[in-house]
Structure 1
Amino acid sequence: MQHLPECQLILNKLKNELSSNLFYHSIYHTLDVYHSAESIAKEEGITDSDLKLLLVGAVYHDAGYLIQNNNHEQISCEIARQYLPQFLYTEEEIDLICGIIMATKIPQRPKTHLEEIICDADLNYLGRTDFLSIQEKLYEEMYAFGYIENKKEWNKVQLNFMQNHHFFTPTVIKHNYLQKEKNIAIVQSKIK
């Protein structure tokens, strides 16, 4: 699939420059969020012009990991502000894209429909059947960076996160809610 040049630029950087310890926050996660956002947006009836901003936001949302893990969303916005003007994005469009990026910061607090879509695209794996393999990558990443010490601690953190998380869009609630409840039960069973 052909991406916009402003997206291809960042995808190339993510592919070639990300830390090898980013098992979860990899180019595969970025592409997963991109495709999820595109799918959700279509079902939510988003216009083409808004869809373009959403998808650029999806590609840039974790670009900050190229520089640092903490507050990577803010760095992602700085990267967007650095590159997007050369692709003729207006300041207003870049502000909207940065709103989309910042909405993914945990805890998620989206203010617009596009921000709700990116939040759901970013975490929709919580309600998917490939949840176990994806959360294993997140565990490996958090362990590699010393954020958690073992699987027991990880399962407790994951369970707490999942129980406090909620989806925002009718589309993702419809398609992912029930599977998320099943996934919560799986994580609970690992703790007992």
Structure 2
Amino acid sequence: MNNLIAHTKNYCLQLLKENIADSLCFHNVEHTLQVYENVKVIGAHEQVAPKQMEFLMLAALFHDVGHIKTYKGHEIFSANMARTYLEGIAYPEKYIQEVERIIKATQMPQQPTDLLEQIICDADLFHLGTEDFLTRNSALRKEWEVIFNKYFTDPQWQALNEDFLNCHKYHTSYCKVNLAPGKQKNREALKNCCSL
């Protein structure tokens, strides 16, 4: 890992640890680290060039730091915070713009326009196709209860998530092959979980 990535990782994780409330039980340090690892896995499979991988790793580390400022629309703050940090270390302007663009692609609903945006989007929602889905989904439910003071009955939560899973599509070949089948299983698990 080059020094830029190592220093940025330390900076972002420290920022999150010091400023993210315990109420953010989904969008926390663990999630940021998962997205960071996910972009590396997907990027390697998609044979992304080293400089583009650098942009992806930087974007992954910064993609949720905007939660320090706001919940809704945090992606804009995340991109701005990345810019401030990268300008401070004299990262080239054209590269900063790439990192900002990739971060902003994670905004919901996701509409990636190229491979790098597709990778960050799939990395951000990687858990939809993993065995961690129900645990992560439960954490998101608790987070929304605290942040929005919105409580869902089990049938409401099930319907909301079924709609989301039905609308969601993985973009990269890696996730289509390796995660889409798990997502289908999780759709069924969600039904069973919420109909107890």
Cα distance in 1 between the residues matched to 2:79 and 2:52: 18
Query: Secondary structure of the equivalent of 1:69?
Result: coil
- What fraction of aligned residue pairs are identical, expressed as a percent? 30
RMSD over aligned CA atoms reads 1.5
2:178 to 175, 180, 184: 175
Residue 191 of structure 1: how far off its partner (Å): 5.0
1:8-53 residue CA offsets vs partner (Å, 9 max, x unmatched): 2121101111111000000100000000110110111011111011
Query: In the TM superposition, what whole-angstrom CA distance separates every residue of 1:78-126 from its partner, at most 9, and x where no partner exists?
Result: 1011111122211211111111111111110111111100000000100
Contact 2:39–2:57 (8 Å) recurs in 1: yes
Query: Judging changes above 3 Å, is the alpha-carbon distance between structure 1 residues 49 and 189 closer, same or farther for their aligned structure 2 residues?
Result: same
Q: What count of residue pairs does the alignment treat as equivalent?
A: 192
Residue 175 of structure 1 aligns with an amino acid whose one-letter code is N
* Mapping for residues 65-144 of structure 1, pairs under 5 Å: 65-144=67-146
1 CA distance for matches of 2:120 and 2:149? 25
Q: Which amino acid aligns with 1:163?
A: N
Distance 1:171 1:148 in 2: 35
What residue number does 1:57 align with?
Answer: 59
Q: Residue 159 of structure 2: which of 156, 159, 173 is its match?
A: 156
Equivalent position amino acid for 1:149 in 2: Y
- Aligned partners of 1:43, 1:8: CA distance in 2, in Å? 26
Correspondent of 2:187 among 159, 184, 189: 184
- Out of 182-191 and 30-39, give the one that drifted further: 182-191
Q: Secondary structure of the equivalent of 2:21?
A: coil
Q: In the TM superposition, what is the alpha-carbon distance from 1:147 to its structure 2 partner?
A: 5.5
State whether residues 118 and 172 of structure 2, in contact with CA within 8 Å, keep that contact through their aligned partners in structure 1. Answer: yes
Counterpart code for 1:176: L
> 2:18 matched to which residue of 1?
16
Change (3 A) 1:88 1:17: same
Q: Deviations over 1:44-79 (max 9, x none)?
A: 101111101100000000010011101000010110
Contact 1:125–1:131 (CA under 8 A) maintained in structure 2: yes
- Give the corresponding residue for 1:6: 8
1:163 deviates by: 0.7
Q: Is the 8 A contact 1:6 1:84 kept in 2?
A: no
Alignment-mate amino acid for residue 156 of structure 1: A
> Distance between the aligned counterparts of 2:149 and 2:177, measured in 1?
33
TM-score by length of structure 2 reads 0.93
- Structure 2 unmatched runs, 5+: none
TM-score normalized by structure 1? 0.95
Q: Go from structure 1 to structure 2 and tell me whether the alpha carbon gap of 1:147 and 1:183 turns closer, same or farther (over 3 Å shift).
A: farther
